[in-house]
Amino acid sequence: MMTTLLKLEGIETYIDQFHILHDVGFEVPKGEVTVLLGRNGAGKTTTLRTIMGLNPATQGSVTFNGKDITKLPPYKVAKEGIGYVPEDQGIFGDLTVGENMRVAMQKEDDSTHERMEWVLNLFPDLKTFWNKPGGQLSGGQKQMLAIARAYMNESELLLIDEPSKGLAPIVVEKVMESIQEMKEKTTIVLVEQNFLMASRIGDRFYILDDGQTVHQGQMNELEKDESLKKKYLGIA
């Protein structure tokens, strides 16, 4: 039976005086990859930032693990078990890879070390460049560091914003493979413009348009629905 890990209902978000999200609602089942799709400027990033409490909603509710987290500040949202990988990756450029990871580690117990071991197996590059400043990593390595770091934060849910952005196709492939593996460990909300990649690892999708959720369904249904793809995603 399916349990809902994250649920957004009737979300309205303002940034300064601009009304960005009008009515965003969706459910994220535990253990699945839920993909948010939509054109540039549709409100995907703002939706993730609203969940994190970085741009809090003025209306509606965000429920995580049955708890209302709508009004929590970002650090409390993170402590509830949500890891965030922002669009720009948010790597601390002057800190080493190891230090970047350590910022996210609230504890140093056995379960943290297990997580660390697992994630370094998934991204061996991070081990190789452990003492290198994050700012000197390649784009793909930065993306991996951002994902690994978010996972270290005891996360049950990862919010990943356009991990393929600006990466060469072969690197995208690698990043997507690792996200596929992350799926074994956590639930994932993925914002992705690369439809091919999204359809490969996504289970369920929601389409945002002009700050509203306008469509939802199973990823494999969307693959066949040419008119929907054309209308909201500009894919012929």
Partner 1 sequence: MDLFFNLAINGLATGMLIFLLASGLTLIFGLMDVLNFAHGGLFAWGAFSGVWVYDLTGSFTIGVLGAIVTGLLLGVLTEWLIIKPVYGNHVQQILITLGFMLVLSEMLKVVFGPNPIAAEPPAGLEGSFQLGDVILIKYRLFIILIGALVYAITFFILKKTRVGLIVRAGVMDKEMVQSLGINIRFVFMLVFMAGSALAALGGILLAPYSGVIYAEMGMEFAILAFIVVVIGGMGSFTGSLFAAILVGLAQAFMAYYVPSLSLAVNMLLMAAVLIFRPQGLFSLKGGA
Contact residues for Mg ion (CB under 5 A)?
45, 87
- Cα–Cα distance for residue pair 35/186, rounded to 1 Å: 14
- Distance of closest approach, residue 154 Cβ to ligand ATP, in angstroms: 26
Candidate list 1, 18, 75, 110; residue touching ligand ATP; CB under 6 A: 18
Identify what 136 binds: Mg ion, partner 1, ligand ATP, none; CB under 5 to 8 Å per kind. Answer: partner 1
- Binder of residue 149, out of ligand ATP, partner 1, Mg ion, none (CB less than 5 to 8 A by kind): partner 1
* Nearest distance, CB of residue 78 and partner 1, angstroms: 4
> Which are the contacts of 130, defined by CB distance < 8 A and separation ≥ 6?
96, 97, 98
Q: Who contacts 4 (Cβ-Cβ below 8 Å, separation ≥6)?
A: 27, 28, 29, 30
Nearest distance from residue 184's CB to partner 1, in Å?
22
Out of 75, 109, 224, 236, point to the residue binding partner 1 (CB under 8 A). 75
Residue 1, contacted partner among partner 1, ligand ATP, Mg ion, none, CB below 5-8 A by kind: none
What are the tokens at 40?
């540039």
Within the chain, strands assigned E span: 4-15, 18-29, 33-37, 59-64, 67-68, 82-85, 157-161, 187-191, 204-209, 212-218
Separation CA 14–CA 212 (nearest Å): 13
Residue 87 C-beta: closest distance to Mg ion, Å:
5
**Which residues contact ligand ATP (rule: CB under 6 A)?**
15-16, 18, 20, 38, 40-46, 87
